[in-house]
Structure 1
Amino acid sequence: MNGLPPRAGETTNLVSGIRDAYNHGDAEASRLLHDARAGEPHEEAHSEAGEYLKVMVFGGLDGILTSFAVVAGAAGGGLDWPVVLVLGFSNILADALSMGVGEYLSSQAHNEYVMAEKRREEWELKNHREGEIAEMVAIFTQRGMSQEDASDVVNKMAKYDDFFVNLMMSEELQLQVPESQDETIKEGFIMFLSFATFGALPLLGYTIFPMLDPDISNAILFKLACAVTGVSLFLMGAIKSKFATRSWYASGFEMVCLGGVCAAVAFEIGNLVDGLLVDP
């Protein structure tokens, strides 16, 4: 199955093989790999690594695009490289902090909402068990099960309260119960670190090359920033394709085009503002 999370203690190579078999339409390889996976000790599946990678990728993409837009705007305005560095790094750190805090607060608010809904479902199961069971039977019959089979399956699952509450959360409310509050802190920190780290890439040339050649022109520095940013965006876009159905090269090319549009707009705005300030 495409998108299977690795079980605790399970090698990622096995899961990658299952995904590759799906992508290549190899049913026999998929069957063999699933049999091997089923033969391992069963433990609860976790997708923490995948969620962290997702936050890192999207935080990195935001960081690169935001930073490069600042660099392009400064270049369009004819600002010297020291000014570009000041604007770039101050913007990166401020935005990274904002993104990290925003990720934490939004995740925390969502988790609090989910847990409040879980407490409500627990109360309803305790006080109106027959009604909750009937709701789940109705959901299963709407999905194609017979009334008899749905009633039999749901009543068996309802013997296990915690499992049944989580099932109601997923099937009835389309909500996943968070594993712990610590995850929100980790995701916020990863967002901050990813945004700041990848956001610094367009500024590498402005940081290193003036020390090697004090007479280097702003135009060359901007071209270097364009090259570094283009490669970085393509790689990040290729990684982003892991979370979508698009090919890696199409996703990478899309990110390069998006970055180019953002840079062009920022450059022209910087050039326009510079002209307005200089001309009487």
Structure 2
Amino acid sequence: MGDSCKRGGSSGGTTTRLLREAAEDGGDSEWKSERPREPWKGEYVKSIVFGGLDAIITCFALISSINASTRSSVDVLVLGFSNLVADAISMGFGDFVSASSEQDVIIEERRVTEWDVMNQRDKEQTELVKYYQALGMDYNDATMVVNIFTKYNDILVDQRMVADKGMLPSDQEVKPWKNGLVTFASFMLFGSTPLLSFIILIPFTDSETVKFISACLVSALALALLGMAKARIASQNIMFSVALTLCSGAIAGLAAYLVGWLLKHVAGLEG
């Protein structure tokens, strides 16, 4: 233990010396003095943001293809909302099934690991020591840590789950049906934004071009806002995240518009 403290003290002194030397050489800009910004946290934040992004891009792409081939607000609204509901149900159910399956797999793998720990304890302890050594821990320290864990079966099983299978313990607070419901609601809410311009402008103009341009602007605004939220979740640069989100939406919309235009003007298909 004393040797470990000495090593820690020596390491701390070396780090301090390197920092001082870097500052003297003008390289202090390489060392971050500010604490990194924490990402957004929340049980359903990711489902809301990423489900919303997918919904906006999908719905905007559909509007683009319909506008290029038929240029009818009725077609845009009918096909847009019907497709939105179908995709929202599919996404919500898919999220529910995915979360349920993930929990089931973790629970089953934990049962296997519990059996291994109870019936092959020496082997499991040895493997855990090797795992900590691979992470850079000294053999004696790794052995001491594992010996402490052997007093607590649940902790030992959790550590073996992480080391052997790369799985964290199952979060019993997570409710798969809630994840699915949140994804469905997010998809419906954000996916409907590109259609709002058509609904709002119907009493004021008959120009399909004006309605389509307004849909582009509304979609771009919604994508930019969700891109900012995505940056907060992933701790990314806000400008880069917004630009990437807008670019993905523009590419999807342009591709869908070109397909609709080609089907109408080249293949001769009329809506």
Aligned residues: 237
CA distance in 1, matches of 2:173, 2:66: 41
Does 1:26 find its partner at 2:33?
yes
Task: For residue 126 of structure 1, give the secondary structure of its aligned residue in structure 2.
Answer: helix
Structure with the greater alpha carbon radius of gyration: 2
Structure 2 residue aligned with 1:170:
162
CA–CA distance in structure 1, aligned partners of residues 88 and 116 of structure 2: 42
Q: Contact (CA 8 Å) 1:78, 1:271: kept in 2 or not?
A: no
Query: How much does 1:52 deviate?
Result: 1.1
Residues 1-280 of structure 1 mapped to structure 2, 5 A cutoff: 25-27=32-34, 49-180=41-172, 182-210=174-202, 212-213=203-204, 215-275=205-265, 276-277=267-268
State the identity as a percent.
33
**Residue segments in structure 1 that go unaligned for 5+ positions in a row:** 1-23, 31-46
Instruction: Please list the CA deviations of residues 152-197 of structure 1 after superposition, one character each: whole Å capped at 9, or x if unmatched.
Output: 1111012111121112112321111222275211111111111111
Shift of 1:51: 4.1
Q: Which residue of structure 2 lines up, in the alignment, with residue 18 of structure 1?
A: none
Contact 1:73 1:268 in 2 (8 A): yes
Q: Given the two structures, how large is their TM-score scaled by the length of structure 1?
A: 0.80
1:64 touches 1:233 (CA, 8 Å); kept in 2?
yes
User: Alignment RMSD, CA only?
Assistant: 2.0
Spell out, residue by residue over 1:82-128, the C-alpha distance to the aligned partner (whole angstroms, 9 max, x if none). Answer: 11000100001100100010111111112111111100010111111
Partner of 1:34: none
1: CA distance, partners of 2:248 / 2:126: 49
Q: Aligned partners of 2:151 and 2:124: how far apart in 1? A: 13
Contact persistence 1:99–1:192 (CA under 8 A): yes
Q: Which runs of 5+ in 2 are unaligned?
A: 1-30
TM-score (structure 2 length as normaliser)? 0.82
